[in-house]
Amino acid sequence: MDVDEFRERGKEMVDYICDFMSNISERRVTPDVGPGYLRPMLPPTPPHEPEPWDDIMQDVETKIMPGITHWQHPRFHAYFPAGNSFPSILGDMLSDAIGCIGFSWAASPACTELETIVCDWLGSAIGLPNDFLYFSNKSRGGGVLQGSASECVLVCMLAARAQAISRLKNSPAYANYDETAILGKLMAYCSRESHSCVEKDAMICFVRLRILEPDEKSVLRGETVQQAIEADIAEGYVPFFVSTTLGTTACCSFDNLEEIGPVCKKYPGIWMHVDAAYAGNSFICPELKYLMSGIEYADSFNTNPNKFLLTNFDCSCLWVRDRFKLTSALVVDPLYLQHTHADTAIDYRHWSIPLSRRFRSLKLWFVIRNYGISGLQAYIRNHIRLAKRFENHVKRDERFELCNEVVLGLVCFRANGSDKLNQKLLSAINDSGKIHMIPARVNQKFTIRFALAAPNATDDDDVMDELANIREKKRKATLDQKRSFFVRMVSDPAIQPGFTKTPNNRARLDTQATIGGLGSGSPTSRSWISKPLSIFESDTSELSLRFRHWDTTFGLKPTSNGSRRGSSNGCSPDPSPSVSPSRTRSPNGKA
């Protein structure tokens, strides 16, 4: 393809994109395909000779689009928004055309400097303390664009780990410890409602993570954090990192930074991170800044413009109070990457995991300039208004109940009835192809998440009527199926089953971990440690493990020959422990 054909095909592609986005509501939200649908439709080997562009685009429409979940569809309400706008698309187009790899200032000065400026712009609009802004007087902080919130949490945890190891090695108590031994002493903390990336990042960092129970409103409280820290210090662990969340994934709850912050400051070397991947963007609205009260205690803060600020993925902003603590943990400086301005310019390769970096700031710069802060505020307020509208519909409909406090663009609700009923309802919703939603567990109940996601969402999208219709159709279909089976069973003796009533004697496991006795009548605080690699340790006679995505605790006991392998009952589910499990505690908390 030469420049003349690119000019022609580029215009055609813009037309295709415009038609696609203008008519997206006519498509199914979710694809009606199964796993492996695409393989039979494409040849087993790549073409040896060039193919006409028209044939390629024809295959896009007939083979690729049928397998697309349309995140920009007005009826897509599953996840938090996947940011999208025409200025952002144009920014990515230009970035791809420029094709620079901005790992250092020398590699592309504008790529680096625009990123620094745009991060300061957004941080100032959000209302971050001046310590987080690069160009603020006497600031040691600054912002950087990462690929995702997962990367933001990871690099902050790595920085906190490096700081903790350095501090401990310089103390008399740990002077003779090597770094591996110190790693075994480090403890990080997060809420059960924190994003799962925190647990994955702890696995990557080879540190323990204590997962704490929030209160009845899914809010992590300061007292809970303090109890856990004090208990771990008494056991010989060293707290070093606390990950808090503003706008949790399940129900958009907000951890209490005003309580947690002072707790972190009481103990030396604890790094407090604030993950506001979705909600942080909304703080550009003055009326929502109260949600970030306590931010002055944070050491780092991240938010994703690619979620709630009309910017395409990937674009996650991270700010740190002390950039030198971050870079000291990540610096690798071979000769071929050094340049003459290294002492006076930022090299973002020291701020992130990958060396290669895209020109992400260009699209964010386009979006901020084209919309202005006022336009972005209007977009956020529209989503909140529509969420409140849906909340009112749920409250007025006696068939449904509300399950969260609606603050931004997320409403959690469920049909009155059992979890099984709501699971069937959600399956029917998604199978219809007209609406897409996902589940969450809020206060131990299976709920359905209604998230405003479409960039141009309007009042015309009346979901409640559609939900009622789907529920009624599902009820009738189930009733018809039961009647049909009963008629066939009565009329055809060959399919009559032998009816045997089997009592359900299986004990129901108490898997609801609580803090401060909430919901259990017990004053004991409960939490659990995510430490998957403990399974390979051989210095314990019994080990209690619990993972956030499992409902039970598994007690691993050695067989008679001391091996953990080969026993059919060596790994059995037990109720959640009454105290935090440790390497030498049994599942019931006794030594």
485-497 pLDDT, tens digit per residue, is 555 555 555 555 5
- Output the pLDDT for position 174: 87
With tokens 């690619």, the residue in question is 306
- Which range among 409-423, 552-566, 569-583 shows the weakest confidence by mean pLDDT? 569-583
In 436-583, which residue ranges form alpha helices assigned H by DSSP?
Answer: 463-491
pLDDT confidence bin for 472, thresholds 50/70/90: low
Question: What's residue 529's pLDDT?
Answer: 74
Judge whether residue 121 has pLDDT over 80. Answer: yes
pLDDT at 337: 83
What is the pLDDT, as a whole number, of residue 444?
Answer: 87
Q: Are 376 and 368 in contact (CB under 8 A)?
A: yes
- The answer on pLDDT for 589 being more than 60 is no
Kind of pairing between the strands at 208-212 and 186-191: parallel
- Encoded tokens for 225: 């954090």
Q: According to the model, what pLDDT value does residue 14 have? A: 95
516, pLDDT greater than 50? no
pLDDT tens, 324-378? 999 999 888 888 788 888 888 899 888 999 888 999 999 999 999 999 999 999 9
Q: What is the mean pLDDT of the chain?
A: 83
Whether 349 contacts 337, CB under 8 Å: yes
The pLDDT value recorded for residue 488 is 56
Average pLDDT over residues 571-584: 37
Residues contacting residue 45 through CB under 8 Å, at least 6 positions apart:
none
Mean local confidence (pLDDT), 182-205 = 94
Examine the pLDDT at 477 and tell me if it is beyond 70: no
Q: At what angle do helices 463-491 and 419-432 cross, to 10 degrees?
A: 110
Strands 271-275 and 238-245: parallel
pLDDT at 474: 62
Does the pLDDT of residue 277 top 60, yes or no?
Answer: yes
Residue with tokens 């969420």: 387
Averaged pLDDT, 579-589: 36
Query: Over the Cα atoms of the chain, what is R_g?
Result: 27
> Of residues 461 and 560, which shows the higher confidence score?
461
Res 81 pLDDT > 60:
yes
Backbone angles phi, psi at 276, to 5 degrees: -125, 50
Kindly report, residue by residue over 89-100, the tens digit of the pLDDT: 999 999 999 999
Q: pLDDT of 299-308, one tens digit each?
A: 999 999 999 9
Q: In the chain, helix, strand, coil percent, each to 5?
A: 45, 15, 45
Look at residue 568 in the predicted model and tell me its pLDDT: 37
Nearest to 237 by CA among 525, 514, 529, 516: 529
- Region 70-78 average pLDDT: 91
First to last CA, the chain: 71
pLDDT (average), residues 463-480: 64
Structure-token match 């045997």, residue found: 500
Residue 281 CA from chain centroid, whole number: 15
Instruction: Kindly tell me if the per-residue pLDDT of 39 is higher than 90.
Output: yes
Average pLDDT on 566-582 reads: 37
pLDDT in tens, 520-556: 333 345 667 766 555 445 454 444 444 444 444 444 4
pTM for this model (two decimals): 0.81
